[in-house]
Structure 1
Amino acid sequence: MKKTAYITGGSKGIGLGIAEALLKDGVNVAITARTQNDLNEAEKHLKTIGDAEVLVIKSDVRNLADEENAIQQVVDKWGQLDYCIANAGVGKFSSIDEMSEEDWNAVIDINVTGVFNTVKSAIPALKKSKGYIFTIASLAGTNYFEKGAAYNASKFAIVGFSQAIMLDLRSYDIKVTTIMPGSVATYFNGHTPTAADAWKIQPEDIGQMVVDLVHMNPRTLPSKVEVRPAVPPSARK
């Protein structure tokens, strides 16, 4: 029986890269996004990869009921959930004296509460499958920077949350890893990837990492993985 994966924010960027890698590995993949058009475009692309199945679900991670419904759709379709990848995230960057309450709430609600909602909804199914949770944090979860108050706070929170639930859930044979990428060539924060981004981590690199981790001997758990570009422009001589 094929393994199954659930990926939030899976229509673009890192989420899409993980979906592609898992499909190539023979895993049935469900992705979510808040926009149906994005899901439709991603579905067309993903269905050209491998022979595993693809399910797209419109869900807002800020809403626990949405996530519970999305997980139930996965279980109803495939009978199980093996991998949960809490990837959906947003970035708002400004000095604290200029930051709006709206921007602060958006970052915390999606990046922190959204991860809680996804993980909380998936736990009953993952207990049955002895599954694997991945949270996508950031090097911003260990390295703070100017104009990053909201984003830093959210990613520091996800790192702490992930390490704590790893301890909560290991008695059920559920594994938890948080992946902390540095610069990734994605559409994050309105950026459009170009050839100039070749030095950055690519979404497929994170996808390959997830595949490698799920195939690691189950006695071993890399619980926190920092990932950075090998040679950023600032390091070139």
Structure 2
Amino acid sequence: MAGNPFTSRSLRNRVVLITGAARGIGAGLAERFAARGAKVALLGLEPEELAAVARRIGPDAAWWEADVTSWQDLEKAVAEVVQRWGGIDVVVANAGIASTGFVRSVDPVAFEKVIEVNLLGVWRTFRVAMPHVIERKGYLLAISSLAAIAHAPGMANYAASKAAVEAFCNSLRAELRHLGVRVGVAHPTWIGTDLVTSADRHPVFGKMRGRMPAFLGKTYPLEVALDHLERGTLRRARTIHVPRWVGAMKLLRSLLPPLIEIGSGRTGVAQADAEAMRDIATRGARESAVVGPGARAALEKSDQAG
């Protein structure tokens, strides 16, 4: 299969590597691609969850516990994937975490870990897998976010990391085009994953999100995201917007920062700032910042390494 462009709508016998594959979008895409005949390599930090996904899929799936910020973990996993299945056709850099908090008071470790996982994790995943994807003239897809376009208060690190992922992919796309590799970036809005449901339960920032304009704050079912991402991968799309109106937001990108600033009163930023300080005093800065099981697993991994 080496050297054959990935142009068919079929994924049969293609090898797809997915990071952040233990839950949500990563797990859902793995199941979708396997149903189309792909061999799926599941990478993540939660071995029990990864094993459960692999069991649901069957013999066309295998999992590796791997931290996307670790060169050693990625190199070992990629080498074993290639040894098992002969190469890699598609990489979905889906691993991503979030923390929440205002810049003046958020836990510094949690803040920086989001940027490390969301941005450096994409770069490291792509860099390690790239020789194999080039050999197969394959496809690299990074999961960015609506947050790359609309930068909400309380999400400075997440927005910065996702905007950087978009910029990284735009540069990389031009670099790899002559080699037959296509690079895509996806921008989902709020999707019903563990990350989003955990954010909604946050005692301070869940209330802020509830005050967002309806179309910006609406949570879409996971299946909506999977439908768009599956179709986009089959097309080797350069951009995937979930849902499509997210693409229109790009046309308004220069207008959004002042509009968000004006709307900060409506979303209760001043009140939330005071509540955040009280929450930190009660629960501690780290616990107040953590959103979702992925972030907790990533921070625990960092604590163990330290």
Is TM more than 0.5 here? yes
In the alignment, is the contact (CA less than 8 A) between 2:191 and 2:225 conserved in 1? no
CA distance in structure 1 between the partners assigned to 2:99 and 2:49 by the alignment: 21
Render the CA deviation track for 1:215-237: whole Å, top value 9, x for unaligned: 33xxxx6322221388xxxxxxx
Is the counterpart of residue 14 in structure 1 residue 14 in structure 2?
A: no
Counterpart of 2:221?
202
8 Å CA contact 1:18, 1:203 repeated in 2: no
Whole-angstrom distance in 1 between the partners of 2:13 and 2:110: 40
Gaps of 5+ in 1: 194-198, 231-237
**Residues 54 and 134 (structure 1), Cα distance of their counterparts in 2 relative to 1, 3 Å cut:** same
Contact 2:17 2:40 in 1 (8 A): yes
Percent identity, aligned pairs only, is 26
Structure 2 length-normalised TM = 0.67
State which structure, 1 or 2, has the greater radius of gyration over its C-alpha atoms: 2
Partner of 1:144: 151
The answer to which structure has the higher helix fraction is 2
Pick one of 79, 82, 88 that aligns with 1:75. 82
State the match for 1:178 in structure 2: 185
Deviation of 1:190 after TM superposition, in Å, equals 5.7
Aligned in 2, Cα 1:206/1:180: closer, same or farther, shift over 3 Å?
same
Q: 1:127 to 1:31 in 2, by over 3 A?
A: same
Shift of the alpha carbon at 1:163? 1.0
8 Å contact 1:21–1:208 — kept in the other structure?
Answer: no
SS at structure 2 position matched to 1:97: coil
Amino acid across the alignment from 1:88: A
Q: What one-letter code is carried by the residue in structure 2 that aligns with 1:110?
A: V
How far does residue 192 in structure 1 lie from its aligned partner after superposition? Answer: 9.4
Where structure 2 has 5 or more consecutive residues not aligned to the other structure, the ranges are 1-11, 201-217, 246-306
TM-score by length of 1: 0.85
Which residue of the partner structure matches residue 224 of structure 1?
Answer: 239
2:49 counterpart of 1:38: yes
List per-residue Cα deviations over 1:71-128 (Å, max 9, x = no partner): 1111101101000000000001111111121012210110011111100011100111
Q: Across the two proteins, how many residue pairs are aligned to each other?
A: 217
Aligned to 2:220, what secondary structure does the other structure show?
coil
Secondary structure at 1:159 match in 2: helix
Residue number among 120, 128, 131 corresponding to 1:121 in the alignment: 128
